Amino acid sequence: MHIEKNVCANLIGTLLDIPGKTKDGVKSRLDLVELNIRSELAPQVEEKKIFLPPACYTLSRAEKFSFCKTLSELKVPEGYSSNIQSLVSLTDLKLYGLKSHDHHVLMQQLLPMAIRGILPKHVRLAIIRLCFFFNAICKKTIDTSQLKGIQEDVVVTLCLLEKYFPPSFFTIIVHLVVHLVREIEFCGPVHLRWMYPFERYMKVLKTYVRNRNRPEGCMVENYIVEEAIEFCSEFIAGVSSIGLNSSVIKNNSNMDRALSASSFIKPSKEQLDQAHIYVIRIQHMESLRKLNSSKARSKKWIQEEHNRSFSRWLSTRVALALEVPKNSITPSLRWIAHGPSLDVATYSGYIINGYYYHTKRRDDIRRVQNSGVSRTATTMQVSSSKDKNPVMSDMTFYGVIREIWEIDYHQLQNGDL
């Protein structure tokens, strides 16, 4: 991870020409003169000033502004990385205070996007190849049969970079990139050995320090107390707590709760039926196939009929079953068959299974974005509008959250479902 950090720092510093971090300067150009290569980049002495001819990687002020503006307007999902916007200065055209993980995110995802259209194609492709290399070796699972190809690619990539960047760019840490694939062959995937978890845990250890004269002792004492509390909690896990009741604790937890106050709307019957269908399904589809097996009904017609009549069919089935004195209809199923309330609570944000979901309107005023969603689902696909017999296959859908609904099935709101 430190190799990735230093390579990224070299690239950012050289592209933005940050003083003290750039690998291009008068001394670098004099090295070219001494090596008798790239004579067109040799420094030119004009009166009392030294002029450095622009290289293929040199960015104009407008291009630097475009690079920084792309990063300053970027919105990443909650918890994906630190706030990149706060690390960009549009006045100085620099990046400040980058940590190791910030360099990791830049190198893996953001740098290829930020340099599009502001560098010559051959330089841009060489940098993107290097980013793809780090992306490939940082996967959770790596196919060992592909390591040979990855090694050959990174050798070619470094040779391309040597054609465009000055010799001073290639510090010892940059040359170590060529040995990373062999390290993976010996030690396994990179993510099992990098230091990000320990660097994050250092922040926790720093909070333990109450006496700055004895930081080590504070960390040890607090760690022992924490271990003792976790050990004791195993014995009192099933004990009823006093003070706050369970419902209050549940509402204050970080799982499955709203992030804003609710507002109520009355959706159309078609919208409410569509939401209701997503809650429950399946047996009705089988009954439709049996009833229409002798008729020339297409799969498309059966699917549309299922969407139209499923809620009514379920309500009728449950009502008939309730007429029998000893039936197996649970209260949950009875309320589901009854249908949801006509008043639907809407929220601008919600936490489900630890993930944040925001509406587009909420995202517009925040520095992170959690309104984009994707879903891989088995759906019917047709070859044309005239195709009456679609096939079932997986398809990935992308969308933006406009509204978040909480459908109320009356008594089920207390957790019966």
Q: What is the pLDDT of residue 63?
A: 94
How far apart, in whole angstroms, are the C-alpha atoms of residue 13 and residue 412? 58
Has residue 162 got a pLDDT over 50? yes
Q: What is the pLDDT of residue 300?
A: 66
Burial of 127 (0-12, 13-18, 19+ CB in 10 A): buried
Residues shown for the chain: 417
Q: What is the pLDDT of residue 417?
A: 41
Q: What is the pLDDT of residue 397?
A: 87
Burial of 263 (0-12, 13-18, 19+ CB in 10 A): exposed
DSSP reduced 3-state for 374? strand
Q: What is the pLDDT of residue 393?
A: 80
The answer to whether 292 and 286 are in contact (CB under 8 A) is no
DSSP reduced 3-state for 355? strand
What is the share, in percent, of the chain residues with pLDDT greater than 90?
39
Domain ranges of the chain: 2-192, 257-414
The answer to whether 147 and 182 are in contact (CB under 8 A) is no
**Mean pLDDT, rounded, for 249-258:** 55
- Within 8 A by CB and 6+ apart from 19, the residues are none
- Cα end-to-end distance, the chain, whole Å: 46
What is the share, in percent, of the chain residues with pLDDT greater than 70?
77
pLDDT digits (tens, 9 = 90+) for 189-234: 888 888 888 888 888 899 999 998 999 999 999 999 999 988 888 7
The answer to whether 123 and 57 are in contact (CB under 8 A) is yes
Q: What is the pLDDT of residue 192?
A: 86
pLDDT digits (tens, 9 = 90+) for 86-134: 999 999 999 988 988 899 999 999 999 999 889 999 999 999 999 999 9
Has residue 178 got a pLDDT over 90? yes
Q: What is the dihedral of CA 6, 10, 11, 16, to 10 degrees?
A: 130
Q: What is the pLDDT of residue 132?
A: 95
Has residue 244 got a pLDDT over 70? no
Q: What is the pLDDT of residue 232?
A: 86
The answer to whether 88 and 95 are in contact (CB under 8 A) is yes
Number of H helices, E strands in the chain: 17, 12
Choose the weakest-confidence range: 259-263, 272-276, 287-291, 403-407: 287-291
Q: What is the pLDDT of residue 88?
A: 93
Cα–Cα distances (Å) from 91 to 103, 295, 296, 314, 364, in that order, read 21, 72, 70, 63, 24
Q: What are phi and psi of 356, to 5 degrees?
A: -90, 135
Has residue 379 got a pLDDT over 80? no
Burial of 244 (0-12, 13-18, 19+ CB in 10 A): exposed
Choose the weakest-confidence range: 106-110, 245-249, 257-261: 245-249
**What mean pLDDT value characterizes the chain?**
82
pLDDT digits (tens, 9 = 90+) for 324-346: 776 666 666 666 666 777 788 89
Q: What is the pLDDT of residue 415?
A: 46
**Mean pLDDT, rounded, for 245-265:** 60
Angle between helices 147-164 and 180-187 (to 10 degrees): 160
Q: What is the dihedral of CA 9, 15, 16, 21, to 10 degrees?
A: 40
**Mean pLDDT, rounded, for 47-72:** 91
